[in-house]
Amino acid sequence: MKPNALSYYHINRVCSTWGNFHLKTFDGDFIQLPSTCNYVLTADCKNSYEDFNIQIRRQIVNSTATITEVTMKLEGCVVELTKTSVVINGKEVSLPSIVSGVSIEKVLSSLTIKSKLGIRVLWNMDDSIDIELIEKYKGLTCGLCGDFNGVQGNEFTQNGAQLSVASYGDRFKLNGPTEVCREESFPAASSECGDEAFCTELFNSPVFSDCANRVDTAAFAQACLADTCQCPQNDSCFCQTASEFSRQCVHAGGLPGQWRTTYCRKAFLHFT
């Protein structure tokens, strides 16, 4: 089910990537790019001066994908985030911190970064990062998050030809000259290897009833299907997708129920 108009306005200013290499662009396309390379998530590409550039790096830790580094150029500041440090313009800082219009604070287990430019970044210091932009940048961005023009799918064509997800990702890959990326090989999501009924049940369950008209439930059910296909012995993949769904529901003004104790525990029993 597609989001209602008000929720669509909120959700389609947000790009997010999470869990098992999933990504939702600003315009609402869902892709899966299984790679540990360094990528530009989003950047200001069409102005004479680049207001912002946000990059992430993933690694596989204990057989699970995690975001290990976030690098941002905001208002002339270079912000480098890891799970153990926050560095601004080459100097480690304590939190909360405000430098040149960029504020960084830690709330529970997440970092929130806000810029006077109208950019908000939320990193859970694990697998998920959400980026929200103001309308000023509509149609002016590039990176994995897309061009933010409100049109789905146009980023995945070039000279009239359809781009594969891997080819699309290659356009925004940034790696050092001696660096070797790790490309993961996953089976395609299908009902033959995953549990389609379980995923459909989850995102249409009563605990998420307030999310039904706010978030694209079908797209998240498909991401869940990929999780149950590609890591059938590890329920953390599925739970990360459910967690992202819950975050986006809250961002769109919804109120999810207590899904973790019901479904993550159920998933653990179901897939082991």
- pLDDT tens for 10-30 read 567 899 999 999 999 999 999
* Side chain identity, residue 208: F
What is the rounded average pLDDT of the residues 123-137? 94
Per-residue model confidence (pLDDT) at position 270? 39
The pLDDT of residue 1 is above 80: no
C-beta of residue 86 within 8 angstroms of C-beta of residue 79: yes
Beta bridge partners of 38: 57
Q: pTM to 2 decimals?
A: 0.89
Greater pLDDT, 264 or 25: 25
**Sign of the dihedral defined by the CA atoms of residues 257, 262, 265, 271, in that order:** negative
Specify which residues 73 forms β-bridges with: 53, 78
Q: What is the overall mean pLDDT for the chain?
A: 86
Per-residue confidence at 260, pLDDT binned at 50, 70, 90? confident
Phi, psi of 264 (to 5 degrees): -70, -40
**Per-residue model confidence as pLDDT tens digits over 32-83:** 999 888 999 999 998 778 899 999 999 888 878 899 999 999 988 999 999 9
Helix (H) or strand (E) holding 256: none
The band of 192, judged by pLDDT with boundaries at 50, 70 and 90, is confident
C-beta neighbour count of 227 within 10 angstroms: 29
Compute the average pLDDT of residues 183-202: 77
Closest CA to 128 of 150, 112, 143, 104: 112
CB proximity list for 216: less than 8 A, separation 6 or greater: 1, 2, 3, 28, 30
pLDDT digit string, tens, across residues 101-113: 899 999 988 999 9
Q: What per-residue confidence (pLDDT) applies to 27?
A: 93
End-to-end CA, the chain: 30
